[in-house]
């Protein structure tokens, strides 16, 4: 049901927004294609919600422009933009039934009543709430209220649906269930979604592409796998997922730790020289007996176990390297070797290809 148009659904071109002399959004350029699910991810204060408000028309940029299906809407108010917004607070009318809440926008547009009834029924069926037609929103759970808000936004068939951290008020189990529901709904309706979140799991699970923001600027744009496996800056590497960091000095295709241990660098980083930061994911590591042979495709360092934490499907092991640096290994229960007690020594292994390498200059620090 995606609109049949040529070109992007939404474009930000050099967008800057300044509050009290500070640029909270800085020269952002981003193209969103029809039917995409884009997650804008970043910590508090990164500018992600301001970017969404600019798309919605609640804020106007100080520089740059916004195009909606090729039309310049930079100075257009919200009611003149073919977008709808779902907020964290739901913003449902408690004195109206679920059906009347969903129908509200259609009635404002003076859509015929017979058409309204059909569209509301279709929207509630889409979010699995057709049985709650006559209920008051106050009788529904948080997850159900959020689905009513989603139905109310989608019933108007916007060109772009804007979602401002809509799941953050829900508890963990409901939030995870809603992640799957949102992805399903997006696939069914084909509407373009621009979803703002500070939760990396939400972004990784749902989005076609992730936009990572930092201090008002775009740090990296890519698929979930690109963002996770090939981060372009230490900030992205550290913000999305967990990472072990080692400080080293690169020379002749290897990085030397302070105790003399060598970390083999991946092919793309063979040219590096001088101070570097080495990163590798805890789940990419595996533990082996101290006398195990390190394979030609592996890196390996000796470490002492400082703690072992059983977490059901995974076991987390914290370790101290001989130079004092701390690393973490996360293994599935079936992959974990027979571990010695706390204080025992093991070999930490990970593939050379999963080693991330960054310059250690101050401007690159996370």
C-alpha angle 159-165-170 in degrees, rounded to nearest 5: 125
Q: Mind giving me the DSSP string for 11-47?
A: EEEEEEEEETTEEEEEEEEEEE-TT-EEEEE--TTSS
Nearest-angstrom CA–CA distance, 145 and 140: 6
Looking at residue 5, its pLDDT comes to: 57
pLDDT digits (tens, 9 = 90+) for 231-280: 999 999 999 989 999 999 999 899 999 989 999 999 999 889 999 999 99
What b/e sequence results for 95-119 when a residue is b if at least 16 CB atoms lie within 10 Å of its CB, and e otherwise? eeebbbbbbbbbeeeebeeeebeeb
pLDDT digits (tens, 9 = 90+) for 145-188: 988 999 999 998 999 999 999 888 788 888 888 899 889 999 99
Nearest-angstrom CA–CA distance, 162 and 154: 10
Give the range among 58-62, 167-171, 246-250, 303-307 with minimum mean pLDDT.
167-171
pLDDT at 333 > cutoff 80? no
What torsion do the CA atoms of 78, 105, 102, 119 make, to the nearest 10 degrees? -120
Three-class HEC string of 248-299: EEEECCEEECCCCCEEECCHHHCCCCEEEEEEECHHHCEEECCCCCCCCCEE
Looking at residue 66, its pLDDT comes to: 97
- Helix/strand/coil for 111: coil
Token pair listed for 227: 């963002």
Average pLDDT over residues 282-299: 92
Q: What global pTM score does this model have?
A: 0.88
Looking at residue 297, its pLDDT comes to: 95
Range among 57-61, 323-327, 357-361 rated most confident: 57-61
pLDDT at 3 > cutoff 50? no
Nearest to residue 137, comparing CAs of 187, 208, 89, 181?
A: 89
Token pair listed for 65: 């422009």
Token pair listed for 34: 């029809």
Nearest to residue 88, comparing CAs of 165, 149, 157, 151?
A: 165
pLDDT digits (tens, 9 = 90+) for 84-127: 999 888 788 999 999 999 999 889 888 899 899 999 999 999 98
Which residues 6+ apart lie within 8 Å of 136 measured at CB?
94, 96, 97, 98
Q: Show the domains of the chain with their CATH numbers.
A: 10-237 (3.40.50.300), 243-364 (2.40.50.140)
């Amino acid at each position: 049901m995606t609109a049949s148009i040529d070109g992007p659904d939404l474009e930000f071109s050099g967008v800057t927004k300044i509050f009290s002399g500070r640029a909270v959004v800085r020269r952002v350029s981003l193209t969103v294609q029809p039917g995409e699910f884009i997650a804008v991810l970043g910590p508090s204060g990164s500018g992600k919600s301001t970017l969404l408000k600019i798309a919605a028309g609640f804020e106007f940029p100080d520089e740059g422009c916004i195009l909606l299906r090729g039309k310049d809407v930079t100075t257009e108010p919200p009611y003149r933009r073919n977008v709808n917004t779902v907020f964290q607070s739901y913003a449902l009318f408690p004195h109206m039934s679920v059906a009347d809440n969903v129908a509200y926008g259609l009635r404002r547009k003076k859509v015929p009543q017979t058409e309204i009834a059909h569209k509301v029924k279709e929207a509630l069926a889409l979010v699995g709430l057709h049985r709650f037609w006559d209920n008051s929103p106050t009788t529904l759970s948080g997850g159900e209220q959020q689905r009513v808000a989603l139905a109310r936004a989608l019933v108007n068939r916007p060109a772009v649906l804007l979602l401002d951290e809509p799941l953050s008020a829900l508890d963990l189990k409901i939030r995870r269930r809603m992640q799957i529901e949102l992805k399903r709904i997006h696939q069914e309706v084909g509407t373009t979604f621009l979803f703002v979140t500070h939760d990396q799991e939400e972004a990784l699970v749902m989005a076609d592409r992730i936009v990572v923001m930092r201090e008002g600027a775009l740090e990296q744009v890519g698929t979930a796998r690109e963002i996770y496996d090939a981060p372009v800056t230490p900030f992205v590497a550290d913000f999305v997922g967990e990472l072990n960091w080692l400080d080293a000095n690169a020379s002749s295709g290897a990085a030397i730790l302070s105790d003399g241990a060598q970390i083999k660098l991946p092919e793309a980083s063979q040219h590096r020289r001088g101070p570097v930061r080495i990163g590798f994911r805890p789940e990419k590591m595996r533990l082996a007996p101290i006398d195990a042979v390190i394979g030609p495709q592996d890196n390996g360092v000796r470490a002492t176990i400082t703690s072992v934490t059983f977490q059901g499907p995974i076991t987390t092991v914290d370790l101290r390297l001989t130079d004092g640096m701390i690393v973490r290994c996360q293994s599935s229960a079936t992959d974990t070797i027979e571990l010695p007690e706390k204080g025992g020594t093991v070999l930490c292994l990970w593939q050379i290809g999963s080693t991330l390498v960054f310059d250690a200059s101050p401007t690159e620090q996370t």
